[in-house]
Amino acid sequence: MAAPSSVSAATTASPLFLREHEVRRGVELLFFGYTRLTRAIDDGLAEHGLGRAHHRALYFIARQPDLTISELLKILAITKQSLGRVLTDLAEKALVETRTGVVDRRQKLLRLTAEGVRFEAQLFDALRTSLASAYAAAGQESVTGFWRVLEGLIPAEDKAMVIALQKDI
């Protein structure tokens, strides 16, 4: 563990001595924050007969058009089978379409259809409303800290993937 000084300066000694209370607080806020945020879109999904798994796929396809199946598998960290069902549903509802890869014809490039774009945007709006109000209430400095801590939770081997995601918007 690095950089104990910044921590010891404030409330506690060193990370090793991090008080249980502070860790529990983080665990709980993450639990409530995450679950409440995801609940914000359940109704929108249910209207289309979809669940959260569908949204996760939809979201990352929206974020990175022409994503391949294997890239999406890495992001979601689920099995091919699980993703398969989800993508089948999304294709049947004409929210997602695939085309054969150009550089490698084995690959399938995933994209949202026009309707998929519309739907994802609608769901995203609910997320934006929740997150934006939390950001606004906390202030920009807090938002930066929020990002920083969360980045620290991502294991090194996954970090590149997350950074890459956030590069192109």
Site for its own copies in 4-43 (CB under 8 A): 4, 6-16, 18, 20-37
The partner in contact with residue 147, picked from DNA, its own copies, none with C-beta cut-offs of 5 to 8 angstroms by kind, is its own copies
CA 89 to chain centre: 20
- Map the footprint of DNA across residues 110-169, applying CB under 7 A: none
Candidates 58, 61, 62, 86; binder of DNA (CB under 7 A) is 86
Q: CB nearer to DNA: give 51 or 139.
A: 51
Q: Are 93 and 154 in contact (CB under 8 A)?
A: no
CA 16 to chain centre: 30
- Map the footprint of its own copies across residues 56-85, applying CB under 8 A: 56, 59, 63, 77
* Residue tagged 């089948």 (tokens): 88
Least separation in angstroms between residue 84's CB and DNA is: 4
* Helices (H) then strands (E): counts for the chain: 9, 3
In 3D, which of 78, 107, 108, 105 has the Cα closest to residue 96? 108
CA 56 to chain centre: 7
Least separation in angstroms between residue 138's CB and its own copies is: 4
3-state secondary structure of 26: helix
Candidates 36, 52, 99, 118; binder of DNA (CB under 7 A) is 52
Least separation in angstroms between residue 44's CB and its own copies is: 15
Does 43 contact DNA by CB under 7 A? Answer: no
